[in-house]
Amino acid sequence: MSSLIKFLLVAGMSVVAGALGFARPPNVVLIMADDMGYECLGVNGSLSYETPRLDELAAKGLRFTNAYSTPLCTPSRVQIMTGRYNVFNYEEFGYLNPNLPTFGHLMQDAGYATLIAGKWQLNGISHGPEKFEGWDDPMRPGAAGFDEWSLWQVTQPKKIAERFWDPLIEQNGDVLHAELAGTYGPDHFTEYICDFIERKRDEPFFVYYPMVLVHDPFISTPDSVDPEVTGQEAFADMMRYADKLVGRIVDKLAAENLLDDTIIILTADNGTDRKIVSQIAAREIVGGKGQTIDDGIHVPMIAYWKGRTPEGGITDQLVDFTDFKMTLADLTGTESKGPLDGVSFLPALEDRMGPEREWIFCHYDPRWGRFRSQRSAFASDGQFKVYHDGRVFAVTDDVMESEPLADAAVPADVLRQLRNALASYPDFPAEETAFGEPLLP
């Protein structure tokens, strides 16, 4: 982008910012933890893990109690980046079609400097002998709307090197591995983000941080007392470290005097790993990753915009992952290249009234491993859930969805609304979509 075009975009953004009551276009730092269910945060009632920095962020900002992802990482990543439901754009696990417009493109169009750091896994390299065209393109993150990137698993599969100790990281087209021996990948990503914030402090920036924590393998962190720790105890260490890294970014924004001008949002891509058992006051929770039950899709969400988000606010407003790109479009006054399915939650961030979604929708066709047989679609208003095969559950009372309801047990207007919502999207094809076959228009 030429300096003249950049200047004109920023000038236009300043006009939009003034119209919306901002002193300057606000920065956005969007953090998405990996495999961190709603139950993992202390502020959400966890009795198993320590998350003081996230709890503090929630105490200063706004906590969403009804935010929902898809049950699995790639579908959630495709959905949050494109602002569209997976029925329209999810082609295969580990793949984001490079022709899809992302929120990175939208923020670039709005004049923002953009960065992604953390987990990529979207080039199409996770499929055994078959791979998508361009899977080995190290510049794919740049083409997806990011000026800079520091990422694990772009063109190199995890069998080559993992994301934690001695990581292999691809950064702006270069491979870093030998020089990272003895280092911890999450530290590198966080340090790169902090450096980016310092370098871009005088212009609007968008940071997308899809964390590699707290996904397995469950191993030690730099703060672990036992370097050989594994399993449940290692997961607790990883939760503490993820919390610490979020705090490090918040502290950097404060040091650069940018908290007044930055929206920080924390969420997660899906429920907790099934090997992890967590405790809240009401019950013991076995991680629900990969499943469409509440424990597989109910994720934490905290937003903090100093001086704008209601301090210590709690909202039960429904949010799903299509809403993030719509919110960014609303924030910047930028038109998306292509349709969007979401509802902006910007009014909630500013503590004002605005449109809210009445239901969430999920089209889940994982196309990966043991989850391949778990295709399903549903619509839910947060209390009742209707599946594409006709099953209905009262999810607030039946968290594990063990007892389907008769239609007569559900308010007729609620049932009609959810079934109409479900019917407004295409159903599954009779046969499973072949590898690489184009999706619905």
Q: Is residue 440 part of a domain?
A: no
| Mean pLDDT across 15-21 | 58
Give the tens place of pLDDT for each residue, 413-431. Answer: 999 999 999 999 988 765 4
Between 426 and 128, the more confident residue is 426
Tokens of 399: 């968290």
Spatial CB neighbours of 165, under 8 Å, sequence gap ≥ 6: 182, 183, 184, 185, 219
Tokens of 285: 């929770």
| pLDDT above 90 as % of the chain | 85
The yes-or-no verdict on residue 14 having pLDDT over 50 is yes
Residue with tokens 């939009």: 16
pLDDT band at 24 (very low <50, low <70, confident <90, very high): confident
Average pLDDT score, the chain: 92
Give the pLDDT of residue 133.
Answer: 86
CATH number of the domain residue 312 falls in: 3.40.720.10
Q: Is residue 231 part of a domain?
A: yes
Give the pLDDT of residue 23.
Answer: 75
Q: Is residue 399 part of a domain?
A: no
Overall number of domains in the chain: 1
pTM of the predicted protein model: 0.93
Q: Is residue 191 part of a domain?
A: yes
| Mean pLDDT across 229-245 | 98
HSE-up (13 A, CA, CB side) for residue 359:
20
Give the tens place of pLDDT for each residue, 358-394. Answer: 999 999 998 877 666 678 999 999 999 999 999 999 9
pLDDT band at 72 (very low <50, low <70, confident <90, very high): very high
pLDDT band at 15 (very low <50, low <70, confident <90, very high): low
Phi, psi of 54, deg, nearest 5: -70, -40
- Lowest average pLDDT, out of 259-273, 306-320, 421-435, goes to 421-435
Q: Which residue segment(s) compose the domain that 87 sits in?
A: 28-359
| pLDDT above 70 as % of the chain | 90
Give the pLDDT of residue 151.
Answer: 98
Give the tens place of pLDDT for each residue, 332-358. Answer: 999 999 999 999 999 999 999 999 999
Give the pLDDT of residue 434.
Answer: 39
Give the pLDDT of residue 435.
Answer: 41
Strand (E) positions, 321-436? 360-364, 376-380, 384-387, 392-394
The yes-or-no verdict on residue 441 having pLDDT over 50 is no
- Whether the CB-CB separation of 106 and 99 falls below 8 Å is answered with no
HSE-up (13 A, CA, CB side) for residue 36:
31
Q: Is residue 54 part of a domain?
A: yes
Residue 74: strand, helix, or coil: helix
Question: b/e for 298-314, b at 16 or more Cβ within 10 A?
Answer: bbbbbbbbbebbeeebe
DSSP string, 154-213: SSS-TTT--SSBS--EEETTEEE-GGGTT-BHHHHHHHHHHHHHHHTTTS-EEEEEE--T
Q: Is residue 196 part of a domain?
A: yes
Q: What is the rounded CA–CA span in Å between residue 271 and residue 59?
A: 23
- Whether the CB-CB separation of 232 and 277 falls below 8 Å is answered with yes
Q: Is residue 292 part of a domain?
A: yes
Strands 376-380 and 298-304, how do they pair? Answer: unpaired
pLDDT band at 88 (very low <50, low <70, confident <90, very high): very high
Give the pLDDT of residue 210.
Answer: 98
- Whether the CB-CB separation of 377 and 388 falls below 8 Å is answered with yes
| Mean pLDDT across 143-162 | 96
Nearest to 55 by CA among 36, 33, 40: 40
Rounded to 5°, the CA angle 198-323-263 comes to 25
